[in-house]
Structure 1
Amino acid sequence: MNTTIYWVRHAESPFSLENERLRGLSPEGFTNAAAVAEILAQEQLEAVVSSPYTRAVQTVEGAAAKLGLTIELEENLRERPLASLDHVIEDHDFMAAIERAFSDHDYALPGGESNHEAQRRGMEALQRVLDRHQGKRIAIGTHGNIMTILLSYWDKEAYGLAFWKQISKPDIYKMVLDEQQQLVAVSRLWPVNPQISPINS
């Protein structure tokens, strides 16, 4: 039986590096989160999982409430830190750091996490989710970098820097895995109607 994961990138949240875990959604973010809830409620979800960061939880909590589901928090589905809080990244250096991280998967700024490191801990968390919910329809509240890094586990060419640059806040990607956890198809549910693309993996 196939397992379906709905990757839900969080809605708009005012940036605050000091409050990375606790910053919530903006008014626009809450409006879009309500639309996300309507979409996900129609997908007959059987589980809702989230990064522990507030903005990710707030983006999927409406869907969980509509379906009477409890949100399961997974610490290791949190966003990838580019650097420690005491390592200041100037605005003009931010994109250069992201680009280098996606071209050199072992690169990390001081106190940060490389793509390889983020994928390792993220996949361990995702495997726990899959073990609990094999064959089910699961929504995962997540973040742009870690979502891209985890999707790249199945297809490095399709899910890299260019993919990360075009995702929106919020965004929803529906991923279907077969019984061997091989990738079958991915479709985007936000903001357009799904267009399913089979993936050779």
Structure 2
Amino acid sequence: MKTMIYMVRHGDSPKTEGNERTRGLTDKGRSDANRITELLRNEEIDTFVSSPYTRAVLTIEELAQSLGKEVLVVEDLKEMMFSSEDKIISYKVLYPSLENMFSDPDFSLPGGESSRICQKRSIGILKEILKKYRGQKVVIGTHGIVMTLMMGYFDSQYDLDFLLHTSKPDIYRMEFNEEDLIGTERMWN
């Protein structure tokens, strides 16, 4: 029985307000969330699951509401923890560290988590989703690194280069037979 997973990377988010957990969407991010609603409205989505971070929830919330569904928030779908305080990490600090994060699965920023730990927690949730919602269509509101690590678990082409060429937002429809990835299609343009 086939299960469809729609990885929806969050829309544009300001790096100047709140912390990693609470920052929302920019005007562009909100506009793109409307486009996501239009793009996925007819996909007959059964279930919506999201990272607890505001920007991820807001990116899929309108679509869920338009279909009379709720967004189920799952803590372990949160973005990679870059520090112990959920503080916003600037791109100047993050981007030079990405190569280390992807080449050494045990590398982490001080107080943060490694890609190995992040992948383990997020894949655990994805496998639960594949089991619990078998045969359904599930949207996952997610983040760039977490999305890449989950997709990379099933197919090594989803690596740092892939991450650096994704957009905010982005959408990938993944087709599974049980836990076997059959195919992936990018839906955002």
Give the TM-score of the pair, scaled to structure 2.
0.94
In structure 2, how many angstroms separate the alpha carbons of the residues matched to 1:172 and 1:110?
A: 31
SS of 1:174's equivalent in the other structure is strand
Q: Contact between 1:37 and 1:60, CA under 8 Å: does it hold in 2?
A: yes
Name the structure 1 match of 2:25: 25
* Residue number in structure 1 paired with 2:177: 178
Distance in 1, matches of 2:52 and 2:180, equals 27
1:141 paired to 2:136 = no
Residue 121 of structure 1 corresponds to: 121
Instruction: Return the alpha-carbon distance in structure 1 between the equivalents of residues 160 and 53 of structure 2.
Output: 23
> What is the CA–CA distance in structure 1 between the aligned matches of 2:90 and 2:24, rounded to whole Å?
23
Aligned length: 189
1:126 is displaced (CA, Å) by: 1.5
Q: Report the alpha carbon displacement of residue 120 of structure 1 after superposing the two structures with TM.
A: 0.7
Aligned residues of 1:87 and 1:110 also touching (Cα < 8 A): no
Give me the whole-angstrom Cα distance separating, in 2, the residues matched to 1:34 and 1:15.
21
Counterpart of 2:103 in structure 1 is 103
SS in 2 for 1:3: strand
Q: Which residue of 1 aligns with 2:166?
A: 167
8 Å contact 2:119–2:146 — kept in the other structure?
Answer: yes
Which aligned pairs between 1:12-91 and structure 2 lie closer than 5 A?
12-16=12-16, 18-85=18-85
User: In the alignment, is the contact (CA less than 8 A) between 2:20 and 2:86 conserved in 1?
Assistant: no
Distance of aligned partners of 1:134 and 1:88 in 2 relative to their CA distance in 1, 3 Å threshold: closer
Cα gap change, 1:123 to 1:17, in 2 (>3 Å): farther
- Cα separation, 1, equivalents of 2:90 and 2:64: 37
Q: Specify every segment of 5 or more residues in structure 2 that has no aligned partner in the other structure, as ranges.
A: none
Q: Is the 8 A contact 1:8 1:173 kept in 2?
A: yes
Equivalent position of 2:132 in the other structure: 132
| Coordinate RMSD, CA, aligned | 1.8
What is the deviation of 1:128?
A: 2.2
Distance 1:136 1:93 in 2: 39
> Which amino acid in 1 is paired with 2:5?
I
1:50–1:56 CA contact under 8 A, matched in 2: yes
Name the CA distance, whole Å, in 2 between partners of 1:114 and 1:172: 25
Amino-acid identity (%) = 42
Report SS of the residue matched to 1:119. Answer: helix
Query: Could you tell me which residue of structure 1 aligns to residue 6 of structure 2?
Result: 6
The TM-score with structure 1 as length reference comes to 0.88
Residue deviations 1:173-194 (CA, integer Å, cap 9, x gap): 0000113x11100000001xxx
Query: Are residues 86 and 34 of structure 1, via their aligned partners in 2, closer, same or farther at CA, if it must alter by over 3 Å?
Result: closer
Distance 2:8 2:86 in 1: 29
The letter for the 1-side match of 2:29 is G
* AA matched with 1:13: S
Residues 1:83 and 1:120: Cα distance change in structure 2 (over 3 Å): same
